[in-house]
Structure 1
Amino acid sequence: MVVRNQKERIFRAVIDVTSVAGYGEMSVEDIISTAGVSRRTFYDYFPNKQTVFLACVDQVAQELRQTVKDAFDTGEDPIGRATACIGALTHFLAEDPARAEMALVEILAAGQEAIAKRNETMEFLADLVVRGTADLPGAEHVNPLTAQTIVGGIAEVLYTRVVRGETDELEELVPDLVHAITLPYLGFEAAEATRQSVRKTLEAQRSGQQTPTTSA
């Protein structure tokens, strides 16, 4: 329990320091002073700042993937799955802006191993897109790279918002991002109808009502 608590404090410090100073300027001294642990304790677990950053990235990525996967499993149809996954993803990022900045922005400054870990999460999300859209009309005719393109575009949208400090607006993007997912499969008119349906459903849920999302 002590080891777990110490590591959690160190990981939280990595997230907070990275958000303020950036990965490049972050030092071990910054981490240990923010975490409130001794230098010896830090080095008992990690040899340097890159190692602890990568370990922190692993933990955040695992939490993100599990959160999105759990949401995927709640969906009863392709639109429901897409809406649940995007909702979970944007909420995960919005609830902790510093974590979002580390996961989307600073990870790109931490070297090839960090970028490889980012790519693993992107591949995981692309696989969910493939699985989640398999039942949509014409899915078998969609280019295999489509899911990767969709995820890459969504990542860029989220990255831009986080860089601009707009994490509190991420959850408002859900209908538009669901539209982006479904557009290659449904065509413009059906995807636009889906966007409007998702928007109305989310608005109803926020006001305490329960309105099911219309399936394509």
Structure 2
Amino acid sequence: MAGDPPGKLKGGRHGLSRDYVRGNQRGRILAAVVAAAGEVGFTRMSVETVISRAQVSRRTFYEHFRNKEEAFLAAYDEVMRGLLERTAEAYERESGIPDRFRAGLRAFLEGLAEDPAAARMCIVEVLTAGPRATARRDEVLRTFAGLAEVEVRRLAPGYRTPALTAELTIGGLYAVVYDRVGAGRVAELPAMVADLAYALYVPP
């Protein structure tokens, strides 16, 4: 889900542009944040932990980020952007309402299962990383609820509470995912698509 981290550049003269070097450094830092947050948690993760994993200097870290919170937020945004794009693409490829729902759900859960460290960072550790991180998480949930609301309105035009129904649907799904990821059982999620779709996709 987070993608393969870029390799460390060799020292000395290499003819690479400054933008390329900075992009490489940033990518390694973000990959290190994902790995560290997923393994030891945001609270125990330190700048030292990140720079050791990323193989960058402390000075380089602070050229990119002011502190570990900013680095965490940037890593969260990058991982979730990829997950949202993957989910939306799968969702849009289908035309029928049940198929769209299942396809989007499958893409999301498979994306989480492919990278357990990133899944833990985005589902569990985001709630320990402060109010800015929690706000990011809430915005993601609102995005998914917006997609769900569209489907509720298509399924039942004139239904009394489409927004609330969508919010409850996404909130319930998040609770199930949080439980599995928190327990180290993220690999189980893709196999739950059919049961989750059946449980959640009930016509109002």
Matches of 2:197 and 2:171, distance apart in 1: 14
Matches of 1:40 and 1:55, distance apart in 2: 18
Relative to structure 1, the CA distance from residue 179 to residue 140 in structure 2 (aligned partners, 3 Å threshold; closer, same or farther) is farther
2:62 corresponds to which letter in structure 1? Y
Give 1:56's aligned residue.
75
Give 2:35's aligned residue.
16
C-alpha deviation, 1:179, in angstroms: 1.7
Tell me the TM-score normalized by structure 1.
0.82
Select which of 133, 152, 160 maps to 1:133. 152
CA contact (8 A) 2:36 2:45 kept: yes
Matches of 1:94 and 1:170, distance apart in 2: 7
Matches of 1:122 and 1:142, distance apart in 2: 21
> Structure 1: where are the runs of 5+ without partners?
186-216
Matches of 1:182 and 1:17, distance apart in 2: 36
Moved more, 33-42 or 139-148: 139-148
Moved beyond 2 Å, runs of 4+: 132-135
Give 1:116's aligned residue.
135
Matches of 1:140 and 1:153, distance apart in 2: 23
CA contact (8 A) 1:78 1:133 kept: no
Select which of 88, 106, 109 maps to 1:69. 88
Matches of 2:64 and 2:141, distance apart in 1: 28
C-alpha deviation, 1:180, in angstroms: 3.0
Is the counterpart of residue 29 in structure 1 residue 33 in structure 2?
no
Report SS of the residue matched to 2:45. coil
Give 2:193's aligned residue.
174
CA contact (8 A) 1:82 1:181 kept: no
C-alpha deviation, 1:139, in angstroms: 4.3
C-alpha deviation, 1:169, in angstroms: 0.9
Query: Which whole-Å deviations, capped at 9, do the CAs of 1:118-151 have from their partners, x for residues lacking one?
Result: 0110000011111233322x34314130101100
Query: Which whole-Å deviations, capped at 9, do the CAs of 1:52-111 have from their partners, x for residues lacking one?
Result: 111111111211111111111111110110011000000110000000000000000011
2:53 corresponds to which letter in structure 1? T
Tell me the TM-score normalized by structure 2.
0.86
Aligned length: 184
CA contact (8 A) 2:33 2:50 kept: yes
Matches of 2:27 and 2:96, distance apart in 1: 37
Is the counterpart of residue 79 in structure 1 residue 91 in structure 2?
no
Select which of 171, 183, 186 maps to 1:152. 171
